[in-house]
Structure 1
Amino acid sequence: MSVKVINVLQCASDAEETFEQELKKLVDISLHEEGCLAYEIYQPKDKRGEYVMIEEWQNEDALSNHKGSSHYRHFIRVSPVLQNSPAEVKELVRLV
């Protein structure tokens, strides 16, 4: 069964450009990883600075490998200083 991850991130108002660049780098590289089915970023129309990332991985192993990748570890290192608060992360397993 595939695993979907939904992240809601709120960046600091003075860091939006840098944060978006880091998000785009993460997505561009992640999309080429083995087991990555989807990796998308959305922004609510009415909430500037808020980002919703939706990832889908073939299985738990693929997600685990992603979390061990250098580009993911880089994002985890730099993103806290660009955010107002920690990301809200939900890992979901498809039931149907």
Structure 2
Amino acid sequence: MSSVKVINVWQCTPDTEETFEQELKRLVDTSVTEDGCISYEIYQPKDQPNEYVMIEEWQTEDALDLHQNSAHYKHFVRIAPVLQNKPAEIKQLVRLV
């Protein structure tokens, strides 16, 4: 069974960048300690200071499901819409090659 990758693109409102970054970092700090987490990283485009790209990799679909049912994930999903310009773009990827 191959690992599961998820790419999230978030865009917060310009006045909430600091709070959004703090919440993202809190999510990552806890998520990387979960069983089945291979990696959980955040990137930012150089020219878009209010956009964030999160790349997650999980050992199995079950590990991802457990993560998405965790308290820290649910907290982030609950507060993120208040800080965003638009809904996140979330893509779960299947490796072809």
TM-score, with length taken from structure 2? 0.97
CA distance in 2, matches of 1:8, 1:83: 11
Structure 2, gaps ≥5 residues long: none
CA distance in 1, matches of 2:55, 2:82: 22
Alignment size in residue pairs: 96
Structure 1, gaps ≥5 residues long: none
State the SS of the aligned residue for 1:7: strand
CA distance in 2, matches of 1:48, 1:29: 24
Aligned to 2:11: 10
Q: What value does the CA root-mean-square deviation take over the aligned residues?
A: 0.6
Q: CA deviation at 1:88?
A: 0.2
Aligned to 1:81: 82
| Seq. identity, % | 71
Q: CA deviation at 1:93?
A: 1.8
State the SS of the aligned residue for 2:14: coil
State the SS of the aligned residue for 1:34: coil
TM-score, with length taken from structure 1? 0.98
